[in-house]
Amino acid sequence: MSEGEKKGQPFIPFRWETLARKNVLAGLLFIGVAVIGLWVSRHYPIGTALRMGTGYVPRLLLWILLVLGGVVLLQGLREARAHSETDGERTSILRPIVFVTLSLVAFALAIERLGLVISIVLLIGIGSLASRESKPLETLLTAAVLLAFSVAIFIVGLGLTMPVWPEW
């Protein structure tokens, strides 16, 4: 007999609370984005490793995202089974969704007018509000590392012409 049946509750093999776990939702999101991306890019020419087509890198990254989503999903399901939410405190499920979405929208609206530096600070700053455990120093370090990688990859490496600072 299961724990629920011992206490007089019927055995329910699937609990909706399992879907509310962060890792389960993140894994499902990664898998969903990867599947949609793979479907949209199904007609892109892939080419070979030496002569890459326009679909080579995006499809490779989408397959990596699909595998990563599966790993995160399985980890979340395993944690859900091992750890039942016994304490009465529940974090709001909308908080991360709202703040991560807002951070992406703020970045998209700010990148052309405010430049890369301020846009990344906005992205990380607003996104950090999604977690109650984020610390200001960690947020600043994350923004600095992301900014360094972005400048190295997009401006130095790829030679893209995008403003780094605001053009006032």
Has residue 150 got a pLDDT over 60? yes
What is this structure's pTM? 0.50
Instruction: Note the pLDDT of residue 86.
Output: 45
Please give the Cα distance from 107 to 160 (Å, whole number).
17
CB 166 within 8 A of CB 114: yes
- At a CB cut-off of 8 Å and minimum separation 6, what does 116 contact? 147, 150, 151, 154, 155, 162, 163, 164, 165
Tell me how many degrees the CA angle 154-156-162 measures, rounded to the nearest 5: 50
Q: Outline where 41-93 has alpha helix (H).
A: 56-82
Q: Return the pLDDT at 19.
A: 64
Residue 89: the pLDDT is 45
**Rounded mean pLDDT, 136-159:** 90
pLDDT band at residue 146 under the 50/70/90 scheme: very high
